[in-house]
Amino acid sequence: MTVRLLTNIGRLWTGVELISNAAIVMRDGIIAWVGPAASLPQSIPGVIDHIADAQIDNAGGALVTPGLIDAHAHPVYAGNRYAEISARSEGASQSDIVAAGGGVSSTVTVTRGTDPWTLCNDVRDRLRHWLLWGTTTVEAKTGYHLTRDGELADVRLLRSLEEEPGMPRLHVTFFAAHAIPPEYFGRHRDYVQAVGSWLGDAAQAGADGVDVYCDNRQFTTEDARWILTLGRAAGLKTRIHACSKPRHGAVRMAAEMQCNSVDLLHETDEEDLVALARTKTPVVVCPTASLNECRTPPVRALLDHGVPVALGTDHNPAHCGTTMMSLVVCMAIGLYGLSVQEALRAATVGGAQALGTLDRGVIAVGKVADVVQWDAEHEGAFAWSYGLKAMRVWRGGEPLR
C-alpha cells in the first residue's frame, strides 16, 4: 500500500483554512493526515508504522491547494467556429451568424460527421490539458450530437477516457436538451419527449446528471421541469442553464425542485436570490460567459444570501477555449469582486457542492488525495498571474507523470 508524504509546503490552503509550513500524508488515494509539519507524527495508526518509510515529495516551500474543480464545461465536440467568433467580434448578430450557417447546429453537423476515433482523440487531448493545469475534476457535458445514439456514445466515451492515465475525474452530464436539432425543426415538443425517453439509457451508460438549456429561444421552463423530473427519476443529478429572464421563472423553478446546480444566471432578481437562498441551491458562474454576454451575475449578492457558488470555464467551441481554471479564478476576482480565498473556495469546495461530490475539493482526512503544487509561494499569485501554472499534480495521491 502506497503511503506518500508531501512536505515542505510553504502555504497550504485546505479549502477551509491556511496552514504555513504544512505537510500532507496520502495513503491509497486518500488524505490520511494533514497539518503543520512540526506536528507530523512519527507513526499514524492504521496508515504507517514509521513515517520515515513513506515516499517523500518535497514541495520546495510552494503553495499547495486541493485540485481545482471545473463545474461547467462542454468538451465533447469536433471542429471549431473561429470564423463565427471573428464575425461576432466585428458586430455580427446571433441571427446573422445562424443565417450564415453558424451556431450550435454547425458544431452538431461537424461532430456528427467526425469518426469516433478522431473525436475521442480530440476530447482526450482537451481533458489532459485540464489536469496539467491543476484541475482534477471536470463536469463534462455532452450535447453536440443531439441524437439518442450519439449522445449515449458521448457518455460512454467520457467514461472510458476517465479510466485512462493522465485524465481528470469526470462528472458526466447528459445534455441532449442543448438545442433543437435540424431534423426536429417545427417539432419542438416531439424532441422534448424524445430526450425524456433517453434518460434511463443515459443513466445506464454512465451519466451522472442531466442538464437543460432553459431559454425562451430553446427550452421553456415547462420543458425543463418535465425533463429534469424524468432525469431525477432515472437517478440523475439535475442541472439547468438558467439563461432566460427572471420573468420566465427558470431560477425559481430550479430552486423549488432543489436542482443540484443552477448555471450561468446572467439575469436575476431579488425573488430568485431569496428562492436560491431558501433551498441553498448551488449556482455555477462562468467569468468567460460573463465577458461574452456582457452581463455579470450578482455573485456578491449570492454569497451574502448564503448561496453556494462554484466556478466553471464554460469551455465550448463557440465562446471559450480555455481549460485553465487558474485563469477563471483570476477572472472571478476581477469581474465579480471576490477575494482570492473566496474565488479559490468557489473553484474547489463550491465545485464539489455543485457536483454533489463531497469527497473532494478540500484537503482533509478521508477526502480523495487530489492535490496541486503551484508555481508560487502565496495564494495572492492567483490574482496576479492570469493563469497560474501548476508545477505538480497528484490525482488520487499519485503524481502526474
Give the residue from 337, 355, 373 where a domain finishes.
355
What distance lies between CA 153 and its chain's CA centroid? 21
Same domain, 381 and 319: no
Per-residue pLDDT, averaged over 113-138, amounts to 98
- Rounded to an integer, the average pLDDT of 333-354 is 98
Residue type, 229: T
**Is residue 345 very low, low, confident or very high in pLDDT (cuts 50, 70, 90)?**
very high
Q: Is the pLDDT of residue 214 over 70?
A: yes
Residue where the block lists cell 450530437: 145
C-alpha cell at 14: 485546505
The predicted pLDDT at position 98 comes to 83
DSSP per-residue codes, 326-377: HHHHHHHHHHH---HHHHHHHTTHHHHHHHT-TTSSS--TTSB--EEEESSS
Over the chain, what is the mean pLDDT?
95
* Same domain as 80, residue 222: yes
pLDDT at 401 over 70: no
Banded pLDDT at 21 (limits 50, 70, 90) = very high
Contact in structure between 105 and 179 (CB atoms under 8 Å) = yes
Q: With 80 as the cut, is the pLDDT of residue 6 above it?
A: yes
CA distance 351 to 84: 31
Please answer whether residues 256 and 206 qualify as being in contact, where contact means their C-beta atoms are separated by less than 8 angstroms.
Answer: no
- Residue 4: burial class (beta carbons within 10 Å; 0-12, 13-18, 19+): buried
pTM beyond 0.95: yes
pLDDT for res 365:
98
Strands (E) in 121-199, as ranges, are: 135-141, 169-177
Q: Taking 90 as the threshold, does the pLDDT of residue 151 lie above it? A: yes
> Of 125, 114, 218, nearest to 166 (Cα)?
125
- The residue-averaged pLDDT of 165-190 equals 96
Q: Please determine, for residue 157, whether its predicted confidence score (pLDDT) is greater than 70.
A: yes
Domain containing 41 — which CATH number?
A: 2.30.40.10
pLDDT of residue 217: 77
pLDDT band per the 50, 70, 90 thresholds, residue 179: very high
Q: Are 400 and 32 in contact (CB under 8 A)?
A: no
Q: Clarify whether residues 134 and 7 are in a common domain.
A: no
User: What contacts 248, CB < 8 A, 6 or more positions away?
Assistant: 214, 216, 220, 221
Q: Are residues 371 and 226 in the same domain?
A: no
What Å distances lie between residue 27 and 1, 8, 21, 375, CA to CA? 7, 18, 21, 25
Residue type, 193: Q
Residue in the structure block whose three cell numbers are 517523500: 56
Q: Please check whether residues 339 and 392 belong to one and the same domain.
A: no
Predicted confidence (pLDDT) at residue 381 exceeds the cutoff of 70: yes
CA distances from 200 to 174, 177, 192, 210, 234 (A): 11, 15, 15, 11, 5
Q: Is the pLDDT of residue 212 over 70?
A: yes
- Name 372's bridge partners: 65, 393
User: Is the confidence at residue 23, as pLDDT, over 80?
Assistant: yes
Q: What is the pLDDT of residue 329?
A: 98
Lowest mean pLDDT among 3-12, 267-276, 345-354: 267-276
CA 175 from chain center: how many Å?
A: 14
**261-299 per-residue burial string, b: 16 or more CB within 10 A, e: under 16:** bbbbbbbbeeebbebbbebebbbbbbbbbbebeeeebbb
**Does one domain contain both 351 and 303?**
yes
Give pLDDT, residue 154.
Answer: 98
CA nearest to 230, candidates 206, 203, 265: 203
State yes or no: pLDDT of 306 exceeds 80.
Answer: yes
**Are 212 and 219 a contacting pair, CB within 8 Å?**
yes
- Local confidence band at 99 (pLDDT 50, 70, 90 cut-offs): confident
> Residues 114, 25: one domain?
no
Number of folded domains in the chain?
2
Say if residue 101's pLDDT is above 90. no
Same-domain check for residues 48 and 106: no
List, as own/partner pairs, every contact residues 336-340 make where C-beta atoms lie below 8 angstroms and the sequence separation is at least 24, other chains included. 336/285, 336/287, 336/290, 336/296, 336/297, 336/299, 336/300, 337/299, 337/300, 338/299, 338/300, 340/379, 340/380, 340/382, 340/383
Residues 15 and 150 in one domain: no
Q: Which three three-digit cell numbers place residue 26?
A: 496520502
As to burial, measured by CB atoms within 10 angstroms (0-12 exposed, 13-18 middle, 19+ buried), residue 235 is middle
Average pLDDT over residues 5-11: 98
Strand order in the sheet with 135-141: 68-73, 135-141, 169-177, 209-214, 237-242, 261-263, 283-285, 309-311
> For residue 173, what are the domain limits?
68-355
Q: Are residues 198 and 57 in the same domain?
A: no
Q: What is the mean pLDDT of residues 134-147?
A: 98
User: Rounded CA gap, 244 and 215, in Å?
Assistant: 4
pLDDT tens digit sequence for 367-376: 999 999 999 9
Residues 6+ apart with CB under 8 A from 269: 246
* Residue with grid cell 503544487, as numbered in its chain: 373
Residue 216 has pLDDT above 90, yes or no: no
What mean pLDDT comes out for the span 304-332?
97
Candidates 54, 16, 70, 55; CA nearest to 365 is 16
Residue 190 and residue 62 share a domain: no
CATH number at residue 300: 3.20.20.140
pLDDT of residue 93: 87
Give the pairing type, strands 63-66 and 169-177.
unpaired
Interval 344-372 mean pLDDT = 98
The answer on 170 and 148 residing in a single domain is yes
Residue 337, pLDDT above cutoff 70: yes
